C-alpha cells in the first residue's frame, strides 16, 4: 500500500472486528495508509466510540458476524445517529437478503481493502432504508 501524499485529508475509520489479531492488523495497515483508526471488538463498543469520537467518523468497516448485534444491524443503528456515514460490511460469506450496504468478502488483500474504501468514500452520501 502506498502512503498518501503529505497534507492529504485523513479519514477517521471505525473498525469493528471481534478477532483481536485481525483488528490489530487492520488498524496498523490503515494507519500506515494515513487514516485515523478507532477499533471496537463488538457492536456496543462501536456505538459508544461512534457517539463520543472527537472527530466525525468518515467510514465504518464492520464484520458482518458479530456476537449480539450483527454488522447489518449495527450499521442501521449507526445510521440512526448519522444517516450518511459510509458503511462497509466484511464477511467470509454473505447469506440471506442483502442489507444494501457495500460489502467486501474475506479473504482480501490490503490493496483490495483500500480500493474498496476508495470506492465507498467516492459514493454520494445516501440514506439507506433502515430496518425496524
Full set of structural domains in the chain with CATH: 12-122 (3.40.50.2300)
| The three cell numbers locating residue 58 | 468518515
Which of residues 124 and 35 earns the better pLDDT score? 35
Helices (H), ranges, 1-132: 20-32, 43-52, 71-81, 110-122
Cell of 99: 442489507
Segment 59-74, tens digit of pLDDT: 999 999 998 899 999 9
**Joined grid coordinates for residue 43:** 457492536
| Separation CA 55–CA 98 (nearest Å) | 30
- Contact residues for 27 (Cβ-Cβ < 8 A; gap 6+): 15, 37, 39
Q: What is the pLDDT of residue 7?
A: 53
| 18-36 residue pLDDT tens | 999 999 999 999 999 999 9
Amino acid at each position: 500500500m502506498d502512503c498518501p501524499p503529505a497534507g492529504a485529508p485523513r479519514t477517521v475509520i471505525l473498525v469493528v472486528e471481534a478477532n483481536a489479531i485481525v483488528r490489530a492488523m487492520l488498524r496498523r495497515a490503515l494507519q500506515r495508509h494515513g487514516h485515523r483508526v478507532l477499533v471496537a471488538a463488538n457492536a456496543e463498543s462501536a456505538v459508544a466510540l461512534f457517539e463520543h469520537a472527537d472527530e466525525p467518523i468518515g467510514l465504518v468497516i464492520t464484520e458482518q458476524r458479530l456476537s449480539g448485534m450483527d454488522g447489518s444491524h449495527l450499521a442501521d443503528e449507526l445510521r440512526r445517529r448519522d444517516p450518511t456515514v459510509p458503511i462497509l460490511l466484511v464477511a467470509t460469506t454473505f447469506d440471506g437478503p442483502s442489507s444494501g450496504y457495500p460489502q467486501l468478502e474475506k479473504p482480501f488483500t490490503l490493496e483490495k481493502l483500500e480500493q474498496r474504501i476508495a470506492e465507498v468514500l467516492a459514493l454520494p452520501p445516501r440514506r439507506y432504508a433502515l430496518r425496524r
